Amino acid sequence: MVKQGLTLLAAFFFATAPVFAQTSAPDDCTFRPQILDLADRILAGRTELPGFSPASFGSEAAYLTLRYGEYSTSQGLRFLHNVDTEGRRPPRNLANLTTTYAISRLGAIAGLSLGGGDPLNRFLDARPSVVRAIILADSGQSYFDLLQQVNDDPELAARPTMGYFRNLQAARSIIDQSDDFKLAFAQLAESRGEAALAGSVLASRRDITAYADFLNRYSQDQTIMNFAGEQAVFLSGFSVFHNDHPLELIRHLSISERYNGQLNFDIYKAGILGREIDFFSVTYNVTGRREIVTAARNYMTALGAGKITPQHDAEAAWLVIHQNLLSALGTEQVFRVLSGFDISTRHRHFAGSALQTMDWVVAKAAVAAFVRGETDTLPERPEILSNGIDWASWTRLALQSTSSPTPFADPLSEADAAIAVEILYLRGDIDDAINLAERDLSLKAGLTVYRDFMKRFDVQCAAVTDYPGKALLFGGSTLFRFPLRP
């Protein structure tokens, strides 16, 4: 019964989701005006927030302003300077964004030196976006030159973070690059004495021939194998993207090891392919239930068939994940797991516990056909909703949305307004949804809606806030990426 009901909800959602679906370059994006407008609202509104709150908003708005706007290098740097100096606190991660942008426009060393900064110090503090920009600026030459300066200083080289920095962070930041780029970078890494990094990058290629050769060269070096052996590159995610099975190039697994390895591999891969949020690994870690692998495999089958595209429509993917976890584990256990961890509002303005977040996704899917005029019948309460959601308000506001051309002309409570903006979004009434958020929500709640919608529109266009494996590799954070200046 649960499976049948949720499958029906998924059908409603999939049938109507393509209203917004598209992928295009930033300057060709249908939603470019909305993205820039929402970014402007965030950057203006954050300066009015009290205390430390301004730091929670602005970096992604500034990033999308640069990606979808038209700025010369000097204009872009001036824009970022203004964002930095406005408000009580600069946006969290803005320095990372500024350095990344400067490197993409000026080159690695000039970008790291922006404002008189010391390139080596900034290199040591670099986050993944900056590391990526340094590598792409000249295919890794500056990266390894800077790393050599670190290695030449015993105190710097001994930093506990350097193992992660020189291996995992660098390899993850270029996991979306071509096989040819990765091969050339790995060869350079090995020639500069960074064999573990070379192996990690080779393991992330579609063609693993060069990685097999790497293993044969270094199989007796346990230190390198600890970072870049077959088990290590699985745990780091590098060998998961382009393979269907755990790598067994030089190691020999028993039948039971192979079975357990495949189970863990499939659950991990499904989590990586979930893009924004990984539900599978959390559920598996909490419950230990092997049935989760069936849910993971069903999800990957839906991905392979093109039924869902989580990089463009995360909620449709979450709904399929939810359906399959419920089928595998049952309502009671899934609800218990989902109520035990939170989802950040940087993903959805209505986020809270994972259960609350999923309740909203289910409710939206249930009312979608009705609010879009595709049926005259209000939906029944979905059986898979928890007791924590106010379903009566959803149906009341869904009905109100169809009552007149201006259904929400009168002010709403904050609780109703949060639902109403989603109903208007489902109907395609984007400007009305934004205006309602401005009118009826607190400033901070409104900024959270703007950020949510801004990123939803982006992933249906150039998707510059998306990145493969984002949930597991970078904790769901946005990796800032800019095209290199010609």
Mean pLDDT of 446-451: 98
The position carrying tokens 């249930």 is 366
Q: Which of 424, 362, 423, 427 is nearest to 389 (CA)?
A: 362
Check residue 165 and give its pLDDT: 64
- Kindly give, in sequence order, each residue whose CB lies less than 8 Å from that of residue 207, ignoring residues fewer than 6 positions away: 179
Element (H, E) at 80: helix 73-85
What is residue 353's three-state secondary structure?
strand
Q: How far is CA 185 from the centre of its chain?
A: 25
> Does residue 146 lie in a domain region?
no
What share of the chain in percent tops pLDDT 70? 94
User: Quick one: pLDDT band at residue 252, thresholds 50, 70, 90?
Assistant: confident
Domain total of the chain: 1
Q: Quick check: is 3 in a domain?
A: yes
Pair of tokens at residue 63: 């990033």
| Residue 65 in domain | no
In a domain, 199, yes or no: no
Q: Which domain holds residue 317?
A: 1-56+275-479
pLDDT in the model for residue 476: 87
Report yes or no on 257 lying in a domain: no
Q: What is the pLDDT of residue 486?
A: 64
Is 403 part of a structural domain of the chain? yes
Of the ranges 11-15, 60-64, 140-144, 409-413, which one carries the lowest mean pLDDT score? 11-15
| Local structure of 342: helix, strand or coil | strand
Instruction: Lowest mean pLDDT of 6-15, 284-293, 359-368, name the range.
Output: 6-15
Given a contact cutoff of 8 angstroms between Cβ atoms, the answer to whether 361 and 452 are in contact is: no
Name the residue with higher pLDDT: 38 or 151: 38
Distance CA 343, CA 348 (A): 8
Extract the tokens encoding 72: 């010369």
Whether 336 is covered by a domain: the verdict is yes
Local structure of 282: helix, strand or coil: helix
